[in-house]
Amino acid sequence: MVLEIQNLSQRYGSFEVLTIPSWAVDYGIYWVQGENGAGKSTLFRTLAGMLPCSGDIILDQKYNLKNQPVD
């Protein structure tokens, strides 16, 4: 697996905007589609380390965003 997401939760205040129990993305090209306000930008900002979150984002089964945060 290239990217694994486990128990990811993102909130704005008390409002939960994103919940992903488990998702694994392998090599390839993917399309993320949704209506305005569905959480697409929040997902990518979280994956980039721009927003704090609960859960694990693991890259190449080696790098965990929680243990190795992006500066």
What string of pLDDT tens digits covers the 71 residues of the chain? Answer: 699 999 999 998 899 989 999 999 999 999 999 999 888 999 999 999 898 889 999 999 888 888 877 76
56 vs 62: CA distance, rounded Å: 12
- Give pTM, 2 decimals: 0.82
CB of 7 closer than 8 Å to CB of 52: no
10 vs 18: CA distance, rounded Å: 5
Domain residue spans of the chain: 3-64
DSSP class of residue 32 equals -
Give me the pLDDT at residue 66, please: 82
Give me the pLDDT at residue 65, please: 84
Measuring CA to CA, how many Å separate 49 from each of 14, 17, 40, 54? 20, 17, 14, 12
